[in-house]
Amino acid sequence: MSSRRLYQSISKELEFSKHGVISIPEISLKGPFYHETITINKLSENEKVSLKWYDQLKSVCKEGIKKEIIENIVVHGSYGDLTFTNYSDLDLTVILSTETLTKNKLLLTFKRWFHKSLFPTILKIDPLQHHGVFYLWNELIENYSQAILPIDVYRHAWAFKQVEIQFRYDKLGQNQSDNLSLITSKKLELPKASFFKQGYSMYFMKQYLSNLMLLPAFYMTDIGKPTYKKDSFEPFYNEFKDLARPIEIASNLRKEWPKTPSYFAHFASKLSTFPKLKSLRKVIYKNRRIERTIKNEIIPNMPILTQGLKRKLQN
């Protein structure tokens, strides 16, 4: 099984499965193999001050380490390089302890920790969080695929404990990532089927815009040049010119994104512990201006971008 497909399977099992031990198939890499060591440092005292939630997430990390289910939490994305805005969600990688995936007791402890401690804390930081966390464990690190997440991401990250990660990976060739940019663009072209079944709430609009702004990074991965997300926009704009207009509009919305009301953050975090009510956070918070921009300026231009991606990837 490929590293990426194994990762997708195990990450779902970790958070949502009701079984015990996870069955882990052997990972198969084609080679040739590359080795890269990345050191992820802790934040300085001055840097910590900019993150009001630092101590709370640190406490959650210490709890997971004490329970022997994780070794560390790594923060990347815009909170990782400290360029965050009102729009920013929390991109985390949880480094799992060696036996978490193979011992029933530890796996069940992990699930409780995730749903009772980690996820509610994430929602306090970003109530509109629309994706889960990333995971690393020893076997995956030794058989890594950059189709999961480019290694370069970890050069722009910090961790609660300094950590050195020794990746072994095979070269990502063109089409090895299943043309994620084209698949995603097609979904964005017909958003009522994939994103807006329950209406144009802030949660679903942010999910839509975030997927749209991932297209440059997905495209770079598709052509065998995995790139840190922030560094993927310029080469994408240079190659696609006016076709990339929907992404430019999305990026402007990101810059102007309103601050999420504090009452909603508290509400979303509390709801996360009640399975029958937690989906309410996805539908009740709205913004008509952002909705009009998506409907009138982004969606109508998506078919042209999709066709442009198709032509480039077929060449």
Q: Which residue has the tokens 């997440």?
A: 149
Confidence of residue 79 (pLDDT cuts 50, 70, 90): very high
- The candidate with the shortest Cα–Cα distance to 155, out of 43, 37, 54, is 37
Residue 156, Cβ neighbours under 10 Å: how many? 18
Q: What is the pLDDT of residues 205-242, one digit of tens each?
A: 999 999 999 999 999 999 989 999 999 999 999 999 99
Listing DSSP states for 210-264 in one string gives: HHHHTHHHHHHHHTT----HHHHHHHHHHHHGGGGHHHHHHHHHHHTPPPPPHHH
Residue 47, Cβ neighbours under 10 Å: how many? 12
Measured between alpha carbons, how far is 138 from 162 in angstroms, rounded to an integer?
Answer: 17
Q: Please indicate whether residue 108 or residue 20 has the higher confidence score (pLDDT).
A: 108
Helical (H) or strand (E) element with 181: helix 180-189
Model pLDDT, residue 18: 52
91: which strand partners?
76
| Burial of 88 from C-beta contacts in 10 A (0-12 / 13-18 / 19+) | middle
Q: Peptide bond preceding 32: is omega within 30 degrees of 0, i.e. cis?
A: yes
In contact, 146 and 220? CB cutoff 8 Å? no
Q: What is the pLDDT of residues 153-164, one digit of tens each?
A: 999 999 999 999
Q: Please indicate whether residue 259 or residue 268 has the higher confidence score (pLDDT).
A: 259
In contact, 171 and 29? CB cutoff 8 Å? no
Model pLDDT, residue 2: 58
Beta strands in the chain (DSSP E): 33-40, 70-76, 91-96, 134-136, 158-159, 163-170
Output the average pLDDT for the chain: 89
Q: What percent of the chain has pLDDT over 90?
A: 70
Model pLDDT, residue 198: 93
Q: What percent of the chain has pLDDT over 70?
A: 88
Measured between alpha carbons, how far is 192 from 183 in angstroms, rounded to an integer?
Answer: 16
Model pLDDT, residue 174: 45
Model pLDDT, residue 172: 62
Measured between alpha carbons, how far is 15 from 189 in angstroms, rounded to an integer?
Answer: 30
Q: What are phi and psi of 241, to 5 degrees?
A: 50, -130
**Average pLDDT of the residues in 133-160:** 92
| Burial of 31 from C-beta contacts in 10 A (0-12 / 13-18 / 19+) | exposed
Confidence of residue 171 (pLDDT cuts 50, 70, 90): confident
Rg (CA), the chain: 20
In contact, 233 and 218? CB cutoff 8 Å? no
